[in-house]
């Protein structure tokens, strides 16, 4: 069966062959894997790419161990999910990170103040979400490792500046550069190269922001949800926290041991669409084989009713596993 390789795959292969650093090689391989057509004719190629990715990651791990450190661009995922902050220069990403988390980024009114990834933990109700501030997306500054972080994050916040006269052009250029790296920001992904995202319209407090917000909503209509905020005035941040949690595509499920009260302090984080069986596995792997049935509490809908292992769960469900 012919491979029928796409132009996107061929471009990623060219990037790999010209890459000179492990980070750029790894980013190119991951892009190749995401763009290669998935059918029987490419199974061996897929396996070879996966093998090369694993080998490169192992080599990087060994180098990191030998150096007693890790690459500056590596950000280990924490909390309920990792969200990358992306945008053009001076959109206020660092100020947003400072307003939402305990991180202390360098906040400046000149471009490229952020040169390395900086994570911070944002609280939403009883969970923590990791935000990662990144250097701006430009032709000159964007490197392979930067796109690799965005590609590997669970989701992205596209931050735009409502104070900019060139708002639409800047946003369009960022989207174009991401697309050239085979990263497409969408509300609901259906393809490997698509990244779940929403648009954060920052600097809502500046003069002319309301008019530009209307222009941005029209420009991005049917592509991304828009959350207007002001990081400096701390306006709209609660809405952004909630929207960011929803963006991750996860739910919180609470365990209730038989005969005892539910533990409502520490939820299990599961993917949206998870079932009672998935929750049982998260609570304890032994429950997968031994699960007999489960009881479910869901606000006013369920009050301890017995449900099957394929029953789909919702955010906030309390489940009691019987093995």
Enter the pTM of the model: 0.76
Is 127 a member of any domain?
Answer: yes
Chain segment 193-243, per-residue pLDDT in tens: 999 999 999 999 999 999 999 999 999 998 999 999 999 999 999 999 999
Q: What's the pLDDT score for residue 273? A: 94
Is 15 a member of any domain?
Answer: yes
- pLDDT above 90: residue 62: no
| 177 and 220 inside one domain | yes
| 88 and 155 inside one domain | yes
| 94 and 201 inside one domain | yes
Residue ending a domain, among 247, 275, 291, is 247
Q: What's the pLDDT score for residue 83? A: 97
Residue ending a domain, among 200, 218, 247, is 247
- pLDDT above 60: residue 114: no
| 31 and 129 inside one domain | no
Half-sphere exposure of 230 (CA within 13 A, CB side): 12
Over the Cα atoms of the chain, what is R_g? Answer: 22
Chain segment 93-102, per-residue pLDDT in tens: 999 999 999 8
Q: Which two tokens stand for residue 249?
A: 């595509």
Residue ending a domain, among 209, 230, 247, is 247
State the Cα–Cα distance between residues 70 and 24, nearest whole angstrom: 16
Tell me the CATH number at 256.
3.10.20.30
By residue range, what is the domain housing residue 179? Answer: 82-247
State the Cα–Cα distance between residues 12 and 187, nearest whole angstrom: 25
- pLDDT above 70: residue 68: no
User: Which range has highest mean pLDDT (85-89, 260-264, 284-288)?
Assistant: 85-89
How many residues make up the chain in this entry?
323
Is 71 a member of any domain?
Answer: no
Is 76 a member of any domain?
Answer: no
- Reported as a pLDDT band with limits 50, 70 and 90, residue 3 is low
44: left (phi over 0), alpha (psi -120 to 50) or beta: alpha
Is 77 a member of any domain?
Answer: no
Is 220 a member of any domain?
Answer: yes
- pLDDT above 50: residue 67: no
Span 148-168, mean pLDDT?
A: 95
**Average pLDDT for the chain:** 87
């Amino acid at each position: 069966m012919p491979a029928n390789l796409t132009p996107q795959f061929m471009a990623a292969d060219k990037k790999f062959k010209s890459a000179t650093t492990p980070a750029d090689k790894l980013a190119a391989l991951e892009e190749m894997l995401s763009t290669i057509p998935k059918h029987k004719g490419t199974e061996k190629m897929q396996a070879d790419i996966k093998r090369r990715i694993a080998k490169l990651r192992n080599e990087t791990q060994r180098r990191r161990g030998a150096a007693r450190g890790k690459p500056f661009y590596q950000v280990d995922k924490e909390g309920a999910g990792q969200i990358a902050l992306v945008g053009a220069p001076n959109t206020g990403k660092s100020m947003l990170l400072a307003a939402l988390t305990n991180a202390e980024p360098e906040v400046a009114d000149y471009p490229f103040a952020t040169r390395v990834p900086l994570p911070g933990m944002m609280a939403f109700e009883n969970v923590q979400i990791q935000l990662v501030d990144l250097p701006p997306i430009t032709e000159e500054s964007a490197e392979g490792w930067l796109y690799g972080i965005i590609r590997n994050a669970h989701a992205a916040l596209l931050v735009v500046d409502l104070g900019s006269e060139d708002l639409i052009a800047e946003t369009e250029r960022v989207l174009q550069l991401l697309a050239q790296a085979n990263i497409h920001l969408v509300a609901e992904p259906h393809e490997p190269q698509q990244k779940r995202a929403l648009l954060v319209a920052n600097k809502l407090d500046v003069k002319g922001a309301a008019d530009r917000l209307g222009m941005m909503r029209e420009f991005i209509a049917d592509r991304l949800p828009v959350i207007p905020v002001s990081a400096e005035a701390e306006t709209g941040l609660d809405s952004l926290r909630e929207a960011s949690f929803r963006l991750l595509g996860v739910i919180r499920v609470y365990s209730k041991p038989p005969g005892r009260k539910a533990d409502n302090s520490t939820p299990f984080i599961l993917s949206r669409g998870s079932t009672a069986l998935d929750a049982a596995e998260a609570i304890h792997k032994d429950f997968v084989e031994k699960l007999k049935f489960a009881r479910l509490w869901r606000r006013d809908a369920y009050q301890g009713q017995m449900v099957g292992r394929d029953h789909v769960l919702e955010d906030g469900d309390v489940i009691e596993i019987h093995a």
